[in-house]
Amino acid sequence: MKFRKVARRMAVMMMSSALMFMTGCLYPDDHTPGSNVSARESVLTVQDAVDRYQEQTGLLPIQNAGEAVPVYEKYKIDFGKLQRMNFLANMPSMAFENGGDYQFLIVDEQSKRR
């Protein structure tokens, strides 16, 4: 009998602590830390990182894509490369790879200015 009381209390304590930890996931999108950055700011930050990467390596930080991939999807920015080489501290919150709605692409890969 006493064991059941203790077990029940432990279960209640574990459930309440789990609920406390889960409340951090309940932020609305407009209150999530880092979500107040505008799309323009994100694009400028990523553009700067891409320019610096290309200047240092002579290559573009893009994900490999096969011949069958359409041109408008072919030159996706590889945020992993930019982060590993410290050109970008954090992936933009609006990037698709980070749960956002936008994909960051190199539009005119042949020109000097993108």
Domain coordinates in residue numbering, the chain: 27-98
When comparing pLDDT for 67 and 35, which is higher? 67
pLDDT of residue 95 exceeding 80? yes
Rounded Cα distance between 82 and 74, Å, is 18
pLDDT of residue 80: 93
**Residue position matching structure tokens 């609305």:** 28
pLDDT band at 109; cut points 50, 70, 90: low
Distance CA 110, CA 99 (A): 29
DSSP state at residue 77: B
What single letter denotes the amino acid at residue 13?
A: M
Which position has the token pair 């990467």? 53
Question: What are the tokens at 74?
Answer: 């072919």
Percent of the chain with pLDDT over 90: 37
Beta carbons of 82 and 97 less than 8 angstroms apart: no
